Structure 1
Amino acid sequence: MNHNAEKISVNRDLFAKAYNFYKKKNYDSCYVYSTKALSVSKNTNEKDILNYIQGVSAIKKNLYKKALINISAISEGDYVSLKNSKLGMIYLNIKNYKKSIFFYKKWEKNNVDTKLSLKRNAFHNLGLNYIHVKDYGNAKKYFDKELKLIQKEDTLSLIRTKMDLANAYYNQYLDDDAIPLFQEAYDLAISFSDIEVKQNSAQNMAVVERNRKRYKESVEYYEEFIKWKDSIWNRDRIWELTEKDKQLAVAQKESEIALQDEKLKRQRIVQRGLLVGAGGLLLFIGLLGFFYRKLKKKNGLITQQKEDLNIANKTKDYLFSVVSHDLRSPMNTIKFQHEELKKHITNNNLEGIKQANNTAITVTKSTSHLLNNVLHWSLQQSNQMTYSEKEYALQPIIEQVLYDYENLIEANAIEIKTNYIKNSLVKVDRESLKIVFRNLLDNAVKYMKGKGIITVEIGTDDQNMAYVSIADTGIGISQERLEKINALKGVSIDKINRSEGVGLGLILCQTLIKKNKGILTFESEEGKGTKVVIQLPVFSEQ
């Protein structure tokens, strides 16, 4: 995730937290998270919502100046109606009645979709504003509007509005209009559960009756007012006593908890002792297990070393067999040819000298090839053969090997044909690949038995693998031996029986091709020649 994506993720997280706290009416947390979100937010709509919910949170905390900053920052877009109504409320609370009226009037022009409860509240606050500026006509107008929106079951709103409207009339000395409203509010308050409402309505009636010089009725209302006032005091007193009882109960509970904690501490000490003992036992068992695993691992290592030694011994036996069997015959041949050469020199037989010399050279090259294979196999088995994988084109590697074989091929009257369909790039160890090519060319020449053609082709197959094929027109391979040669892909030297006619060179070729992540396959038919295909993965820079 890049830096911008991380910022967007943080913005959304802060916004979501602020809005969720607002929905849950947790205004303190909403205030904190909306502040954080506003510091990083760039989106106008998002900032409008954050300013609104922080402004409402500030109002709930009586931070009206802060609320004024937030609500004023809302853009003149989709939230303009809410903005004007909240500004009207804020200015009413800070007693700037003219500005409050100004913003409520702006709200009134565009309040079609406003909720019923918000409309009622706005009309009520407009009525209060007009009372404070002594514009009683407009005060009555908006209180009347509010009354039309109040449902009958909303007793509290009816009482509040009737009392505010009555005060508007009363301040204009319109007693005939005011007194019935005070009376209605009082009658509703009697059957209502809110004690403060009962107290306020009784006080209003006491003042009205005193001003009408009906002192007896006024005293009765004052007595009722005092009764409700005492009820409020008693209620608060009961709450206070209840709170003290709670505190005493909590203190007693804490004392019981402390005693229980002391018991638990003692139990924990006993448990710790048991745990220490159990831990010591587990440690002892763990140590036994550790030493057992170590011994088992050591035995496994010894077993593996024994298996490796067996393979090494079989490899050694195989190599000794190669040296003792495959070298004995050519060395005897060379010895015999030297004796023949000596005889021909004595007899001055030039044709015999030439023939003996050519035979000795051929046998010597074959023996040299065998020794090279033994050397390479020994190095490979002892992990001393260096592998250095790099990107190479196949064609130059093939051409280098073919160049080295020009003299041998000409001497044997063999024709080389090349078909470079596609020169692929492969990632291989070049030197080990050359060893494979030399062995395969040696075999092709060796089993040609006279004149013939060797065709070398490179290209790409259907599996998107680079391939090199070396096809000869030699004597071919029997089906039985061909199956054994192709089976070498997954067989190690310790499982090869030399009596089956599989030489070291072919095993070395399979090993080195596998090391280069390739596949070596032989196709042949007796009397028609042999085709060897090497498949290698095409190098890709991805």
Structure 2
Amino acid sequence: MQSQEREELISLQQEIISKSDISIHDSNFKKMLDFYLKKEWDSILLHTTKQLDINSKLGGESKKYYLFFKGYGFYKKKKFTSAKETFHKIAKPFQLFIQVSSYLGEIALQENNFFKSLTIFKEVENQWNDTVKGIEISNVKHNIGLCYLHLKKFKKAEQYLTNSIELYEKDKDTVELVGAYGDIANLYYEQYKDDLAIPYFVKAYKFSKNVDNFTLKKNTAKNMAVVEENRKDLTAALKYRKEYEKWNDSLNNHNKIWELAQLEKKLAVEKKQVEVDLLKAENKAKVAERNSFFYIVIALLVLLFVITFFYRLNVKSKRTILTQKEELDVLNATKDQLFSIVSHDLRSSVNTLKLSNKKVIRNIEKENISEAHQILQRNSTIVSSAYNLLDNLLNWAMLQTKQSYFEIQEIHLYFTVEHVVYNYLPLLEEKQLQFTNLVTKGIKVLADQESLKIILRNLLDNAIKFSDTKDEIKIYTKDINNDSIAIIIEDSGIGMDSKIQEKLLAATIAVEKHTHKNRIGSGLGLQLCKSMIQKNKGKLSIQSELGKGTKMIVSLPKPLVNG
């Protein structure tokens, strides 16, 4: 897919060069094309904004091309409002106006404005010909089919989706085929045509095995789980559900709670079985005692053997029961700690939301939209915090009960950081925080993939929480020795004093509920980090001064160098 996408970028670049009246020797224009080809969208936005602002003589065709690239940069960054505003500044005539229309159609589709998207893509379909670069007619027809599907116009949706599949199959476009198969399957599923839908769900799932798109893998696995559930094949459905959870990179609350309940049930059954075995042994001894006098000598020998055997069994059973009791005590302690945090933090968050919603209703009734919007933004922050707390609770419970899957392997640190940071981009943008990933792409560490994500996610979440607007956050590495490397999450936020650092590194769960004004935390996230870092054979340290920012330092082993 990456090579195909690059070919499309090169093709569109060549068309821009051939159609544009701007000289290719223009250094600024050449630099912009270079950023475009390398998919450096932030560089494109900075460069185009600078040229449009400082070059007052820029006009006509040149200005349209700079606006085109700026809008495209916003589009790739998923800042759709800014992209629309920029694209709408480009007036006809323009050599790439059909491309502009296509991107506006994509944005409307992303925003669920299906009527508008359909109107735009129908115009693109009518204007498209073989000379148009950067736009595949198969994608246009696929998007039209999606619009019709959402608008419940199933016959037209089927026509366009089928047509797009034929084109994708002709071009052997595996990634797009996965999405197209899934869309037409949903089309049939909505019409209760399961016999037509299921083969396409299966095709989409099989094709997703050959792509690197985690979203497609997740969606196809989820679709297959739903299909198998409807077909009452619970074994297959469970298999697909587990695969869906794997790609979704999160824990299913109900499944984990069910697993804990099953563990408690298993322990109770094993304990009962021990009691049953002891009763059977006692019955067997009583039967032996009731044997006739003729067999008294043999009975005594057998009884002696039985007593010796069951004495040892009893000792072993008591040890087993003691071990089970200790494990059950750990489970009960874990449960109590979970309930304590849930009853305080989650109840507090839910109660705050309850009160805030009443304020929202009152403000809406009074048409005080601005105040209602501010309250909803605060509610969103509370919900996000509560969700992170719940996620940490489940991960911590799984770790304590030794039910989490753990596999230490070589990991490309740069891409793991990028994957974790991606989910925090809206929050970073909302707080106007500057984030920089300074990890070199070639650096590897020895760790478990999922636990490393949880560690980075919690530390980044804390860095954001304890940073003020326009502060800076960066992640980088530093060699410690030949065996270890330090991952450093540094922020320029409010920092902490030595007493707080000691509490954070202590072996407890709850730290400070109100360490700083408007910044509340249970300390569970850091406790989870410490447990997982220790399980990864690493160490955690803190460098911080009050008012001067914080460095959270995670030391992990390096991979062994062969040869």
TM-score range for the pair, normalised by the shorter chain length: 0.3 to 0.5
Structure possessing the higher radius of gyration over alpha carbons:
1
TM-score by length of 1: 0.43
Structure having the higher helix fraction is 1
TM-score by length of 2: 0.42
